[in-house]
Structure 1
Amino acid sequence: MGDYVSEYIEAVENGSIIVSDKIQKAIERHKSDVEKSKNEDYPYYYSIGHTQQIVKFVEMLPDPKTGKPNVLALFQKFILAMLWGWRKKSDNTRRFKKAYLSLARKQGKSLLVSGIALYCLIYERNPRNARQIYATANMRDQAKIVFNMVKSQLKAVRGKSKTVRDFTKVLKYEVTTTDDSFMQPLSADADTLDGLDTMLGIFDEYALSKTTEMMDVIETSMGQQLEPLIVIISTASNKLNYPMYSVEYHYINKLLSGETENDEYLALCWEQDNMKEIDKPELWIKSNPLMEIIEQKEQLTSMYKRMLKESKAKGTISNILTKHFNVWVQSSKESYMNTEEWSSAIADDSMRNSNLFGRDIYIGVDLSRVGDLTSISWAIPIDEKQKILANSYSFVGSKGGIEQKEKEDKTPYTAYEKAGECSISTQPSGLVDYRDMIVWLDEFIQHNEFNVKAICYDPYNAGLMITELSERYGDAFVEVRQGPFTLSPATKQLKIDILNGKLVHLNNKLLNRGMYNAVSVEKNDSLMIDKTTNRNKIDPVDALINAYTQAQYHDFDEVDVNELIESGEYGFGW
């Protein structure tokens, strides 16, 4: 009886297989959980016995093209064994309810998807009858891609097995069984999404899904299931504001680093750990685990070297990085800030936990149309660390309803409001009330007793704010004209300070989205930012650049004369 998880871990630990940081953390999590399972009060255990049938089934599936059985790589057995091996002690049901599986293209994902779907359709018995399996996507054509893969695989099995042939029926848009179970393609543009009772939901190439709509539908429909399972299986993309990156990828980072706990979520991500590894073919196995097979390694290495050379010459390397090295990058070579640069600037715990009370602050305000997004961003110098801490808060117009606004902007504002990163208008008109913004800003400053060095604003629509706050902060108001003469120096310096580690941020989701949406506009040695479409909001970044017109000149070594006088270190010459 093979222990496929231990075999893979042994290959990693003896150096014959090199893995990414996230896979290494997943391995450490597994080993730690195995130790925990020896305690009676730990609710899960790992069962080698439960891994055998799923692996055997997938390996016997005939290739639709050749008719020959598929031979699974060790990493594929590792995935299946992790999903089916971990069990609840109370009832022996599967532990994991959701799995994030990410790796480069051409790594055998189709076989895994087909195998998992068919196994659940034919062999699983929770529930004993009427198992509902869906290949899901935002659009029906995308959902049919996965479904057709499974259908093709099933046809091959039916040709080999009379038992399976008698048990199943293959229709154009549905596969059914004699126990009333079925598999269908399901998309957000379906006529109705009501009444689902999903046992298995597969999200193939989830990186291309624009919203969480289908994920929300499937997760909600699993409430009555004893052993539900959602499988996200996808390669990275350049869609950094889509939910696989903006929601799930950030979540698995926290999960694997121990920042959050979720015993029922399995995260396995084969990726390059940094861009430097793209020039090191010996490390490409980190994102291409099929390279554990020597023939695959030789073939893929030769192909990737050729593709890299050509794409570098053409300036189209981002496509190669996402598809073949599983790296999240922006599509535009004109992007103001790439993913790795901005992610590297997330504040560490020492900065995140800095006491902000009474500190200097530079505030930027971007007052948009009242029906859209208004943002306040700020830069707080942490003098003892010689760094600047940035964050943001936004006010969202909801004219036409927040659901419609979220759909148009492809942004989960409701979730961001729950996270304390924005406020959605509650006005009957749905328009942003600037008075709400003014009250929030004043309370934010007063609660933290900030020393306001500057409130930098675009004069457009700023009359009410100046009128309401001028008595208290009049000397701090700085008008920022929206042109290259004023904004270009701050735009350049902000980028420099981010790249040099001088400015860090608190991973605010709307500020992140703004950075990923922002594209550089260079003209006559000036640098500005813009967006490619109206829905690609950059307001929080605009506000931060406004703040940086003054924050860039902050003197970390400035001496407070009043403090010197109080300490007796300053004299008046007599």
Structure 2
Amino acid sequence: IYTAGTKRDQSKIVFGEAGLMLQGSPLRMKFKVTRDCIKHLKSNSTIKPLSKDDGKSGDGTNPALLVLDEYHQHKTTEFYDLGIGSNTKEPLLMIITTAGMDLTYPCYVTEYQYCSKVLDPNTDVENDEYLIDICEMDPEDYEDISNLDNEETWKKANPIRMTYPEGVDKIRGEYKIAREQPEHMTAFLTKCLDVWVQAKENGYMDMSKWKACQVNELPFDITGHPVYVGFDMSAKTDLTSVAFMIPFLSGEYDANRKEIVKYILWSHSFIPTREKLQEHIIKDKVAYDAWERMGFLEVTNTPIVDQGAVMRYVLETCEKMKLKIQCLCFDPANASKLMMDLSDEGYDVEEVFQSHKHLNEATQGFKEQVFCRNIIYTYNPLLNYAMSNAVIRQNNGLIKIDKDATKKRIDPVDATLCAYKLAMFHTFGDDYGDYINNFIEEILKDSTEN
């Protein structure tokens, strides 16, 4: 049996509790308890805490039971993978954690998302080998911070502590401090109410708002719609991303009776070689290989980024869906020649310079659209990862995404803002009105026939 935290001291917390349970127990004489090991004398079975290095070199440990403590702090799946490799008769993996403050770590990106799907009766995901207990607040309980005054909602995340006076008083005291000192509110939300919070200095996106825009499938057939394509072309050997932005009239109206424009978004990324793919896996500690298998990332198998392959993907995608390309939007830094060639072929090509002046409106506007749930996208872990990495830089009251402030990838976000920069000014002409009218007629026809 192994216990694992991010550091050896944390690994020893669960280990230490196991030792304390034996004190005063009639089973105590059957065990030998030392600082770093609890041994069952008859079978030589052991409980040991793992160190950080054990995660990197622990293949072959073959645990019967692996306990991961505070998994939200684990930057990689190294310890988790030890459990996958177990070859014992009935291996067991236990994960103990509160919510956390980095939504790019595997606990949130993979485990929490998967467990949520298993618990959701509206999905087809089933797994009878998982026993899942997630005690957390509902979004409506904390989206408006004033709702936190309702202590009844605290019971959702604290089903035991809220049953006795000392437990209630402890949470109440922590809330009073967090309310009067906002710097402590993030810790209160994650530790006391089990709310996932992206706590990044100058972070661009509220990831709970971003996730609320995700849908399982697009609300309608996008065939024939206008599309704006944004590009973030890398410097030869890095990640390259494209984003497709489709504006459409939603049929919903604001307070001024103006029809609300919404935007469908998806992105795709490219990397030149498998060596670069592996290099990024090691450096960024995220599953680029899995994202490639899922179809969100493509290896072009060329020494440098194949801009031709990127354009073929864009044009073939638009042709397949009969999308009407309104504009191809580039940062000219790494794409001047490509832009010139595309312009000569008759495409509308626009330069989007990476400056505060040129990107402030798009950066502010896109975030506002997310907060209003006017952005619609389907699941894309690479895009989600990039969005959670994005931080902003301010200059004279203007903002833009700061590429130099983070070593983590934000290329899909840059491509997205490039596309939105032009899509936000889209005008809907008669052809779009005809399309919508035909779409409505088809619906009415189907409903009449049925």
Q: In which range does the TM-score fall when normalised by the shorter chain?
A: 0.7 to 0.9
Residue correspondence of structure 1 range 62-73 to structure 2 within 5 A: none
Residue 563 of structure 1 and its aligned partner are, at CA, apart by 5.5
1:294-373 matched pairs, under 5 angstroms: 294-312=164-182, 315-332=183-200, 334-347=202-215, 349=217, 352-373=218-239
How many angstroms does 1:426 deviate by? 3.4
Contact conserved, 1:517 with 1:531, CA < 8 A, in 2? Answer: no
What are the residue-to-residue correspondences of 1:112-511 with 2, within 5 Å?
133-154=1-22, 156=23, 159-161=24-26, 164-177=27-40, 178-187=42-51, 189-190=53-54, 192-221=57-86, 224-258=87-121, 259=123, 260-274=125-139, 275=142, 276=144, 277-312=147-182, 315-332=183-200, 334-347=202-215, 349=217, 352-383=218-249, 386-396=261-271, 402-424=277-299, 426-427=301-302, 429=303, 431-466=304-339, 469-470=342-343, 472=345, 474-511=346-383
Q: Deviations over 1:109-128 (max 9, x none)?
A: xxxxxxxxxxxxxxxxxxxx
| 1:255-298 alpha-carbon deviations (Å, 9 max, x no partner) | 22232222222221111112134232221111122234222343
Match of 2:95, as an amino acid?
I
Report the CA distance between 1:175 and its aligned residue.
1.6
C-alpha distance in 1 between matches for 2:355 and 2:36: 55
Q: Which moved more, 1:183-192 or 1:511-520?
A: 183-192
Which of these two proteins has the greater Rg computed from alpha carbons? 1
Return the alpha-carbon distance in structure 2 between the equivalents of residues 254 and 245 of structure 1. 13
Conserved 8 A contact 1:488-1:527: yes
- In 2, the alpha carbon distance for the partners of 1:215 and 1:491 equals 37
Contact 2:4–2:69 (CA under 8 A) maintained in structure 1: yes
Cα distance, 1:393 vs. partner?
0.9
Whole-angstrom CA distance in 2 between matches of 1:563 and 1:160:
79
Amino acid at match of 1:328: W
> How many residues are matched?
418
Shift of 1:332: 2.8
> Does the CA contact (< 8 Å) of 2:231 and 2:329 recur in 1?
yes
Instruction: Quote the Cα distance in structure 2 between the aligned partners of 1:295 and 1:432.
Output: 62
Supply the distance in 1 between the matched residues of 2:30 and 2:307 (Cα, whole angstroms): 64
Deviates more, 1:546-555 or 1:379-388: 379-388
Write the distance in 2 (CA, Å) between the matches of 1:311 and 1:278.
15
Which among 413, 431, 434 is matched to residue 560 of structure 1?
Answer: 431
Q: Deviations over 1:117-141 (max 9, x none)?
A: xxxxxxxxxxxxxxxx111245444
Is the CA contact (8 Å cut-off) linking 2:239 and 2:271 kept in structure 1? yes
What is the CA–CA distance in structure 1 between the aligned matches of 2:18 and 2:81, rounded to whole Å? 23
CA spacing shift, 1:376–1:442, aligned 2, 3 Å: same
Instruction: Decide whether the 8 Å contact of 1:370 with 1:432 is kept in 2.
Output: yes
Name the CA shift for 1:561/1:403 in 2 (closer, same or farther; >3 Å).
Answer: closer
Percent of paired sites with the same residue: 32
Residues 265, 470 of structure 1: alpha-carbon distance in 2 compared, 3 angstrom cutoff: farther
Q: Look up the match of 1:45.
A: none
Alignment-mate amino acid for residue 552 of structure 1:
M
- How far residue 249 of structure 1 moved from its aligned partner, in angstroms, is 1.4
Q: Relative to 1, partners in 2 of residues 1:526 and 1:441: Cα closer, same or farther, differing over 3 Å? A: same
Residue 447 (structure 2) aligns with? none
| d(CA) in 2 for partners of 1:419, 1:321 | 33
Q: Which amino acid aligns with 1:300?
A: K
Q: Look up the SS of the partner of 1:395 in the other structure.
A: strand
Q: Alignment partner of 1:560: what SS?
A: helix
> Per-residue deviation at 1:525?
2.7
Residue 543, structure 1, aligned to residue 415, structure 2: yes
**Contact preservation (8 Å) 1:138, 1:189:** no
Change (3 A) 1:401 1:334: closer
Unaligned runs of 5+ in 1: 1-132, 568-574
| Contact 2:154–2:162 (CA under 8 A) maintained in structure 1 | no
**Counterpart secondary structure, 1:456:** strand
Q: Is the alpha carbon distance of 1:531 and 1:323 closer, same or farther for their aligned partners in structure 2, counting shifts above 3 Å?
A: farther
- For the Cα contact (< 8 Å) 1:366–1:458, is it kept in 2? yes
Q: Residues 152 and 304 (structure 1 numbering): CA distance in 2 closer, same or farther, change over 3 Å?
A: same
Which TM-score applies when normalising by structure 2? 0.85
Cα distance in 1, alignment partners of residues 82 and 405 from structure 2: 28
Q: Displacement of 1:353 after TM fit?
A: 4.8
Task: Tell me the distance in 2 between the aligned counterparts of 1:532 and 1:496.
Answer: 24
**Cα distance in 1 for residues equivalent to 2:75 and 2:32:** 33
Structure 2 residues without counterparts, runs of 5 or longer: 252-260, 439-450
Residue equivalent to 1:84: none
TM-score normalized with structure 1 length? 0.68
Aligned equivalent of 1:39: none
> Kindly tell me: are residues 344 and 245 of structure 1, through their superposed partners in 2, closer, same or farther at Cα, counting changes over 3 Å?
same
CA contact (8 A) 1:366 1:457 kept: yes
2-structure distance, mates of 1:383, 1:193? 55
User: Structure 1 residues 376 and 499, CA, compared in 2 at 3 Å: closer, same or farther?
Assistant: same
1:30-52 Cα deviation digits (max 9, x unpaired)? xxxxxxxxxxxxxxxxxxxxxxx
Secondary structure in 1 matching 2:64: strand
Change (3 A) 1:325 1:292: closer
Against the structure 1 CA distance between its residues 399 and 463, is the aligned structure 2 distance closer, same or farther, given a 3 Å change threshold?
farther
